[in-house]
Chain A
Amino acid sequence: MKFAVQINGSPYAGPAGEMAYQFVVAALSAGHTVLQIFFYFDGIYHGLAAQMPPGDERQFTHRWRQLALQNNIDLVICISAAQRRGLLSLEESKRQNRANQDLAPGFRISGLGQLVEATINADRFIVFPGS
């Protein structure tokens, strides 16, 4: 079965990120495919490049990247939700004359059309709510 996932909660404000991660790992290990993980609302904070939690804590951003690389999952962050919260793509950072690249490797920033497309292409669409 083909799954698509939407994450609406920030990494540290609730269980959305952890539940989504466990779900995706379980789905993959059961032989399913995960096409896309779409980060929306405060879920966009999963894609901040400079997150550096202590070494003995969960590494949300790094974990998503590893999972996506190994399983060919498209990690998409909503552009309007991201820009509103200060997370810019490299192109947008340049356009705004900002030096930093805040988007973590492995993620890409795109529009809500990607979310709609994922719901069309997936057999099941699972939302992990924020607050």
Chain B
Amino acid sequence: MKRYLVVMSHPPHGSIHVQEQLDVILTMAAFDRSVSLLFLDEGVFQLLRGQTAQQYLHKETVAIFDALALYDIDDLWVETESLMEKGLSLGQLTLPVKPIARSGINALMSGFNVILGA
């Protein structure tokens, strides 16, 4: 079966993007696809603990991320340099994610059949 990697590179609440990307991920899960996620660039903010979007009437996307494990989506990666550039650390993220150096991204991607992003 094909393995899917979804690259999450958008900030959480600047647009509808993350919510619509999560719709794709949940649909893939409903089709029993094997889905992994890679957070990089502004996308590292998507998992930041303690965020709230209520005052903007945005969906709480972080709550959807918290639920992904129920759909067996638990192979999560974050690019180390992106985290550092945003001044974040793994401990500030709401889910257990595996750090991967920028130099390792190509090798990581080559292990997947379908890559979606942006």
Which A residues are within 8 Å of any B CB, using their own CB?
6, 8, 40-41, 80-81, 84, 111-113, 115-117, 119-120, 125, 127, 129-130
A82 to chain B minimum Cβ distance, whole angstroms, is: 11
| 23 A-B contact pairs sorted by A residue (CB < 8 Å) | A6-B116, A8-B118, A40-B20, A41-B17, A41-B20, A80-B20, A84-B16, A111-B27, A112-B23, A112-B24, A112-B27, A113-B27, A113-B30, A113-B31, A115-B24, A115-B27, A116-B28, A116-B31, A119-B114, A120-B2, A127-B115, A127-B117, A127-B118
User: Out of A112, A116, A130, which one reaches B118, CB within 8 Å?
Assistant: A130
6 extra interchain contacts, Cβ-Cβ under 8 A, other than A80-B20, A81-B20? A6-B116, A40-B20, A119-B4, A119-B114, A120-B2, A127-B116
Complexed CA–CA distance, A119 and B118 (Å): 16
Complexed CA–CA distance, A8 and B94 (Å): 28
A23 to chain B minimum Cβ distance, whole angstroms, is: 15
Which B residues are within 8 Å of any A CB, using their own CB?
2, 4, 16-17, 20, 23-24, 27-28, 30-31, 33, 114-118
Complexed CA–CA distance, A119 and B27 (Å): 12
Contact call B117/A129, Cβ cutoff below 8 A: yes
Complexed CA–CA distance, A125 and B115 (Å): 8
Complexed CA–CA distance, A29 and B21 (Å): 32
Contacts of A40 in B (CB 8 A): 20, 24
Q: Which of B17, B27, B115 has the most CB of A within 10 A?
A: B27
A109 to chain B minimum Cβ distance, whole angstroms, is: 15
User: Out of B27, B28, B33, B118, which one reaches A129, CB within 8 Å?
Assistant: B118
A8 to chain B minimum Cβ distance, whole angstroms, is: 7
Complexed CA–CA distance, A65 and B118 (Å): 25
Contacts of B27 in A (CB 8 A): 111-113, 115-116
Across the A-B interface, give the 4 residue pairs with the lowest CB-CB distance, nearest first. A129-B118, A112-B27, A116-B31, A119-B114
Identity of the chain B residue whose Cβ is nearest the Cβ of A130 in the assembled complex? B118
Contacts of A80 in B (CB 8 A): 20, 23
